[in-house]
Chains A and B, each alone.
Chain A
Amino acid sequence: MIKINNIYKSFGNFKVLQGVNLNVEENKILSVVGKSGTGKSVLLKSILGLITYDKGNIEIDGINTNGFSEAEFNKYIRHKMTLVFQNGALWDSMTVGANIDLALQIQKHLDVTEREKRIKESLEAVGLINIRNVYPNELSGGMLKRAAIARAIAMKPKYLLYDEPTTGLDPILSNIINNLIKKLNVEMGITSLIISHDIKGVESISDDVAMLYEGKIILTCKAKEMWEQNNQIFNNFIRGKIT
């Protein structure tokens, strides 16, 4: 379980997170929605320790990561949690296959047969089996995104954080990715935290939904009940109403 307790983060004088509270329950899918620039990506990066937050704490499986060093994040957190970056962040000096292989080799120290198997499986899962030997800069935006997802799921982590996994994908691909996230959650029990603007997708796969607004989580609810909320900001947001 990921427990985010009262997190603050500013860049200089610019306040981004101002007391975020959020729990991600074991084996569940939680989606966070919110306007562009409200700090959703910053929140995900804080959980993994890529950004150090100013105040508050984050507990992952009971371990408080406040003040953790890089080495402690590597040891206690990053081997069981992977992030799919918003822009993919594939390593562009190597092929997609090598991208997937790198962490399997250096972090997990797996042997060649197991690595091969995982590379094939994960590329298949995102429908990209034939781009294994292609370099990231030769891919389309949607392919990049899926390759990044393949790289993350190959790690078979306990937690997966997805930063806008379906943004920029056509409706069919979005469905494929959403189904994949659900399938990984159901079959492998991967707890997922998703940042998404794809409201229909959010509704269909999430257990819970939360909204980040002006540096705070202003609402958390069951995905099934997301159309019956009393929060006006949330209601307008998910309906795309201009206020």
Chain B
Amino acid sequence: MLVVEGLTCRFGTKAAVDNASFSIAPGSFVGVIGRSGAGKSTLLRMINRLADPTSGRILFEGTDVTALRGKELRQWRARSAMIFQQFNLVGRLDVLTNVLMGRLAQIPSWRSLAQVWPEQDRALALSALDQFDIAQLAAQRADQLSGGQQQRVAIARALVQEPDIILADEPIASLDPRNTKIVMDALLRINKHFGITVLCNLHSLDLARTYCDRLIGMAAGRVVFDGAPAALTDQIARELYDLEANDVMGGAPMPAPDGTTVPALGTAAAA
């Protein structure tokens, strides 16, 4: 059980995430939706502790994750595997080494720094690659792969972390439709077969509706929707995105212009 209590993250005066609270049951596939700048990435990064919350707590199975330090913090990061929009692989290392990075928290530092990987870890990494049909690329440099292949390597890296929860930050935003399906199906399989919780930021409502059991809608840092995909009516979805749109313009929320969204000539300059 992952519990988020009043989580807030400020950059300067701006709250990227504002007092977010929810809890996520083990084994669920949760989508986080909202326009860009809504705070989705910041939320996930705080859970993985890549970003530090200004206030609020994150609890995992009763442990206060926000209080972890040092080795325990690194163990937590390994347990909450992160998948990034830009894959965040080390371009100049080969694919297998990139996947083995997922074992860093588990093996002694001297072994990893000298690249003396335990035999069973290599087997684990190769098997994970094979699961995504890219084991034959093990010796290639990561930056020579296509985007879809890179994301699969990144998922393999996440899997060898043997995570309890996978945090995917717009994993398909840099991919073409075919790879989008491969990656989303992989996440779904991991979720359904192995019961690993998935928390996935998504840009597209359609995808979110197709894959997720539950959706969390964010706008301007606040959680404004939390429920089953079926409960997300078009009305709510539009509000979610419109509120955000006004925020971008920097003005106070105003009634959405009916009919056309094209502003009259001259008003843009005045704004």
- Do A and B belong to a common assembly? no
A interface residues with partner B (beta carbon < 8 Å): none
